[in-house]
A and B are shown apart, each in its own frame.
Chain A
Amino acid sequence: MRAFQRGFRSFRRNLARNIVVVVLLFVCLTFSMSMLAVKLAADNQVDTIKQQVGNYGEIKISSAYQLKQFEAERTKTAAERQAAARSMTTAQAFANRVANLVPEKLTDQFAKDSYIETYDKVLETNITLSDIANTNIQQLFSIRQGDSGQPGGAGQGGGSSTSNGFMFAGNTNGASASDFTTGAKKLISGKQFTYQDYVNANPVVVIEKNLASQNSLKVGDTIEAQISGASGAKSYIDLKVIGIYETVEAQSGSSSSSSSAQNFNPAGSEFYAPLSVVQKLNATPGYVQLGSYYYGSVDDTAALKVTFKKDTVGTSSKYQFATDLSDYQTIADPLLKAKNTSMIGLAGALGACAVIILLAMVIIVSGRIRELGILKAIGSTDRQVIGQFAFEILCICLVAIILAMGATALIGQSLGNWILPKTTAKTSTSTQAQTQGGPGGAPGAQNKLYKEGGRFTQATSTQKQAAKLNVVYRGSLFLYAILILVGLSLVGMAIPLVWIIRLRPARVLSME
């Protein structure tokens, strides 16, 4: 304790000289702390991005396989195709139907991997409903009429242009479809189908409000759907309407549009039903369009790819495990570059700090050799002298680091902005291209992921976040500051330590 008091007193009494050292250290430490703050901010934002992007993957038919199929079909003439269809057995017809689908067994097996956190299976297909009309087509027609100045309501305009084809999106739990979790679509009456509905293949469905309104459907009503490729009395299934949703995005978009487009709703033809029901309607039981998976973070991707390879031995070229790794890379790359730059800056600045404190201590200690000799001659132990110098150095470093922390608060953000690569324009373009992608499957579209209906909304918002580096003070910065303080003090102690231990008082006390 007394050594500390002596050290503090020595720090105060040698103020002018110590201020010079403090100022030099302050400059380098400010740079170090700012770089550290930038690094921590980049780390934090990358971690946030990792929770949102780069942790999604899906198993689906590979685009290479689809291209191959397409090329094979293209070489056939129409007559050949018709002849082949006529001579097809039931088994061949089924094989043909599921050729571009993924076995559920494969998706279930993959879901057992410990990295997988949530799992869903999706099948989208076009189903014919004989009782109701597709308002999507009706409204589009109505808009065209309105634009040309022709009179007539939506019902009249669309009356002759109705379609009975509807898109059915099936998954294992209606509430988990990200169209609903992200708020793009909202249930306004009734309820969602549950996992139990999927397991029991309950014939229930959730429909769009305009579609319901146009067809006078309400919760509890039943609609008749035809199983694909089937005929006869058993080819129909009655689907009970259990919920009605509205498409929030389409409505908000329509508020600024012309009055004729007020009811336009591009999602009007979309039904949500349990996967098992959609499979039944599509006549492809046991097959899905894709298995969709969320895992811990982008860091698990490599391990999951290994698992996928194991699970698809022999058929690996037919299926692919597509991830949003490239989304993550596009979004996180500027941050990672900023992080790397800040690491280099941090290392350089800390190195400079170490050199400054070492040189300063050489000058300080060499100027106080006599004092060291006196202390030893009057009965001071090496430990007491070291303690005094250690506390003195600690005081110098502490003052410098406190000032540097303050300066970091002022310049950290500017430095972060300066370091962050200017890639916003490029990445925005990339995002637009992605958002246009719908459900995957088309040849060459292997990067376009389904994301349970989310369709890259998360990636887009995350990218906006990543465009700016938010350099904020956080607890870890203080912890690192303490570590730097201790490290710097220890480096600074190296010189006095050697001199104190090796010093022979008799040599210095006789010096004039």
Chain B
Amino acid sequence: MSEEILRVRDVSKTFQVKAGDVTAIDNASFTASRGSVTTIVGPSGSGKTTLLYVIGSLEKPESGQIDVAGSNILDPGTDLVRYRREHVGFVFQFFNLVPTLTALENVILPMDLAGVPAEAQHRRGTELLEKMGVGGRLLKARPNKMSGGENQRVAIARALANDPDVILADEPTGNLDTATGRTVVEILTTLAHVNNKCVLMVTHDESILDLSDRAFHMSDGILSEIDGRD
């Protein structure tokens, strides 16, 4: 049985807006393991991205517990910057690469922030990008000179830079054509199955559910597992 790396328990998050309180996450609970791809699907505004950001410590929930690699990240003493550096890697819908940096520089940025020696940064960055199929001249290309698929591959390489336990992918295919999107999901699946990463994807594209090991549906903040999987 694979190791349970992520455990989300009774997490709730509410946003205050002019019209009143909006519950983005309503007592969500689930677990995810190393070597597996977990997908959360649901319509826009259902709260799935918020759940991803809560797990990635970019948002703070009102209640609940999130254990990553055995530690509750919601404990007051948790160093969230270190957590983001060491335990999670983000892949975003709009790639969110730094436009003034090259592909390689974008990948080595998390390592640079973590204080990895320059030589090691360069070596690992090149290795990751080549693994993602963005080697050669593209190493020095800036995001605006690359296609959407290439940008997303660079984003995945960046997410892997510090060798995190969990990859959090927010609509990774949302800005790509079907074929390229499929390729990107396959890369993420490979990362889970071959590199033993825990991949958590949120998407509204249900066509990628067949590549997931576990799938959840989210609607109005309520998370429910989709039967017939696992």
Question: A378 vs B90: C-alpha distance in the bound complex, in angstroms?
Answer: 7
Q: Which of B96-104, B129-137, B186-194 contacts A (4 or more CB under 8 A)?
A: B96-104
Question: A222: CB under 8 A from chain B?
Answer: no
What are 13 A-B residue pairs whose CB atoms fall within 8 Å in the complex? A2-B112, A2-B113, A13-B100, A377-B56, A377-B96, A378-B90, A379-B81, A379-B84, A379-B85, A379-B86, A381-B81, A504-B58, A511-B94
Question: B114: CB under 8 A from chain A?
Answer: yes
Contact with B along A50-67 (1 / 0, CB 8 A): 000000000000000000
Q: With contacts A2-B112, A13-B101, A14-B100 known, is A378 near B58, CB below 8 A? A: no
Instruction: Give the distance to chain B from A239, nearest Cβ to Cβ, in Å.
Output: 91
Nearest-CB residue, chain B, relative to A14: B100
On whether the beta carbons of A380 and B96 are closer than 8 Å, the reply is no
Residue picked from A10, A370, A504, A506, most chain B C-beta under 10 Å: A506
Chain B residue numbers with a CB within 8 Å of A381 are: 81, 113
On whether the beta carbons of A378 and B85 are closer than 8 Å, the reply is yes
Question: A158: CB under 8 A from chain B?
Answer: no
Interface size on B, residues (CB 8 A): 31
Question: A510: CB under 8 A from chain B?
Answer: yes
On whether the beta carbons of B112 and A6 are closer than 8 Å, the reply is yes
Chain A, 364-409, CB within 8 A of any chain B CB: 370-371, 373-381, 384
Question: A14 vs B100: C-alpha distance in the bound complex, in angstroms?
Answer: 7
Nearest-CB residue, chain A, relative to B90: A377
Question: B18: CB under 8 A from chain A?
Answer: no
Question: B162: CB under 8 A from chain A?
Answer: yes
Given contacts A2-B113, A378-B158, 6 further A-B contacts (CB under 8 A): A9-B105, A374-B96, A378-B90, A504-B58, A509-B92, A512-B94
On whether the beta carbons of B84 and A378 are closer than 8 Å, the reply is yes
Chain B residue numbers with a CB within 8 Å of A377 are: 56, 58, 84, 90, 96
Question: B177: CB under 8 A from chain A?
Answer: no
Chain B residue numbers with a CB within 8 Å of A376 are: 58
Which residue of the partner chain, among A374, A509, A510, A511, contacts B98 with CB atoms under 8 Å? A374
Question: A505: CB under 8 A from chain B?
Answer: yes
On whether the beta carbons of B113 and A509 are closer than 8 Å, the reply is no
Question: B221: CB under 8 A from chain A?
Answer: no
Which residue of the partner chain, among B53, B94, B114, contacts A379 with CB atoms under 8 Å? B114
Residue picked from A2, A384, A509, most chain B C-beta under 10 Å: A509
On whether the beta carbons of A380 and B98 are closer than 8 Å, the reply is no
Instruction: Give the distance to chain A from B58, nearest Cβ to Cβ, in Å.
Output: 4
Residue picked from B93, B101, B170, most chain A C-beta under 10 Å: B101
Nearest-CB residue, chain A, relative to B84: A379
B positions within 8 Å CB-CB of A: 49-50, 53, 56, 58-59, 81-82, 84-86, 90, 92-94, 96-101, 105, 109-110, 112-115, 158, 162, 170
Question: A10 vs B109: C-alpha distance in the bound complex, in angstroms?
Answer: 13
On whether the beta carbons of B49 and A510 are closer than 8 Å, the reply is yes
Q: With contacts A379-B85, A506-B58 known, is A384 near B100, CB below 8 A? A: no
Chain A residue numbers with a CB within 8 Å of B84 are: 377-379
Question: A471 vs B90: C-alpha distance in the bound complex, in angstroms?
Answer: 59
Which residue of the partner chain, among B49, B59, B100, B113, contacts A10 with CB atoms under 8 Å? B100
Question: A182 vs B158: C-alpha distance in the bound complex, in angstroms?
Answer: 80
Question: A377 vs B98: C-alpha distance in the bound complex, in angstroms?
Answer: 12
Question: A9 vs B109: C-alpha distance in the bound complex, in angstroms?
Answer: 12
Question: A512 vs B171: C-alpha distance in the bound complex, in angstroms?
Answer: 12
On whether the beta carbons of B92 and A378 are closer than 8 Å, the reply is no
On whether the beta carbons of B100 and A509 are closer than 8 Å, the reply is no
On whether the beta carbons of A380 and B113 are closer than 8 Å, the reply is yes
Chain A residue numbers with a CB within 8 Å of B86 are: 379
On whether the beta carbons of B96 and A370 are closer than 8 Å, the reply is yes
Chain A residue numbers with a CB within 8 Å of B85 are: 378-379
Nearest-CB residue, chain A, relative to B159: A378
Instruction: Give the distance to chain A from B118, nearest Cβ to Cβ, in Å.
Output: 9
Question: A201 vs B94: C-alpha distance in the bound complex, in angstroms?
Answer: 102
Residue picked from B86, B96, B110, B170, most chain A C-beta under 10 Å: B96
